[in-house]
Amino acid sequence: MAGLIWAAVAPRPLLQEIAHGEAELVSAETTSFIVADAWFALVTAVGGLITGVLGYRLLVRRAGAAATTGLVLGAVGAAFLALWVGDNIGLGTYNHLLATSATGAFFHSSLALGAKSTLAFWPLCTSGVILLGESGARRAAAKPRHRRQEEPDASGMWTPEPPGGHSP
């Protein structure tokens, strides 16, 4: 699903065929590559947050470390699957256009992730949410629960009226 979202929202650079089977960028200063990487980072970070919250609430509180390991490894797999899906959607069309277009024709490139470090966003966000959930649960368990003690009767001008309605 993440790869499909990335493929749908990420921009693709515009190419022009300069010879049979050969194309080059129309604008060398295009930001399409950076924006596509940013979209991948955003999609995988949101996927990691969702995985972490649901995984913590449904699995980690019951199964502990085994569930955490499974969720983080699953997040690594999900990031690579999103990359594979996003890279391959439109690749066939791109290769077909590259092979059959006339010289001078314009078409969009297929997606490619340039910043491979963004693959770490999904597992990092998943493990970060689990870490925050566990630290909050441990603090709540370690915090002593004191009953509120009644304050001793104070005398003075800022205290409520004593019973009976008279002040000395």
Residue 143 counted as domain residue:
no
pLDDT of residue 153: 57
Q: What are the tokens at 44? A: 């995988």
Residue-wise pLDDT for 119-131, tens only, equals 999 999 999 999 9
Residue 152 counted as domain residue:
no
pTM confidence score: 0.76
Residue 133 counted as domain residue:
yes
Residue-wise pLDDT for 94-115, tens only, equals 999 989 989 999 999 989 999 9
Residue 130 counted as domain residue:
yes
Residue 41 counted as domain residue:
yes
Residue 147 counted as domain residue:
no
Residue 166 counted as domain residue:
no
Residue 167 counted as domain residue:
no
CA atoms of 103 and 15, how far apart (whole Å): 11
Domain housing 25: 2-138
Domain tally, the chain: 1
